[in-house]
Amino acid sequence: MPTNQPIVLLRERDGDRYLPVWVGAAEAAAIAFAQQGVTPPRPLTHDLLRDVITALGRELTEVRIVELRDDVFYATLVFSDGAEVSSRTSDAVALALRTKSPIRAADEVMDTAGVVVDEDEDDEVERFRAFLDHVSAEDFDTPGGPEEETPGPSTST
């Protein structure tokens, strides 16, 4: 995003709306790690929480995005024993990815904050995503930069 703040786009399963959720850099990294199947050498906070839930004999059955108030999303973690715990949405998404739990948004939240992406824009998003999957930092070296050698006269000794 132009503001350099990461965004998570949650897509409606049986519809054409997306729920854009702005997240912090640390949470974005945690979400990306989970999406990519990265296992760090030591557990990150969300990995630790998943392991604690398991050690206590519980399961995270779903994440609910329950409210949007003052441009802030509120989420609830729902556990197998019926317990519910309030959570930041970014943390809830990171945990849901690690536990393979469904993420559900209240109808009111989708009606208020959901955005429709027409098919052409959706195709553009997919093309951009494919581009990002195959690009590396080296692809952005600039001509004349420090890594580029400038041809000069050759000398022999």
pLDDT tens for residues 7-39? Answer: 999 999 988 899 999 999 999 999 999 999 998
Residue 101's contacts (CB-CB under 8 Å, 6 or more residues apart) are 59, 60, 61, 62, 63, 95
Higher pLDDT, 151 or 20: 20
**Is 3's pLDDT higher than 80?**
no
Q: How confident is the model at residue 124 (pLDDT cuts 50, 70, 90)?
A: low
Q: How far apart are CA 49 and CA 77, in angstroms?
A: 12
Q: How far apart are CA 26 and CA 30, in angstroms?
A: 6
The per-residue pLDDT of the chain, averaged, comes to 83
Q: Tell me which of 16-20, 61-65, 149-153 is least confident.
A: 149-153
Q: Are 18 and 114 in contact (CB under 8 A)?
A: yes
**For position 103, what pLDDT does the model report?**
97
Nearest to 104 by CA among 61, 46, 60, 62: 62
**For position 138, what pLDDT does the model report?**
54
Q: What residue ranges do the domains of the chain occupy?
A: 7-130
What's the pTM value of the predicted model, to 2 decimals? 0.72
Which amino acid would we find at residue 116?
A: V
CATH superfamily of 7-130: Bifunctional nuclease domain (3.10.690.10)
Q: How far apart are CA 19 and CA 11, in angstroms?
A: 6
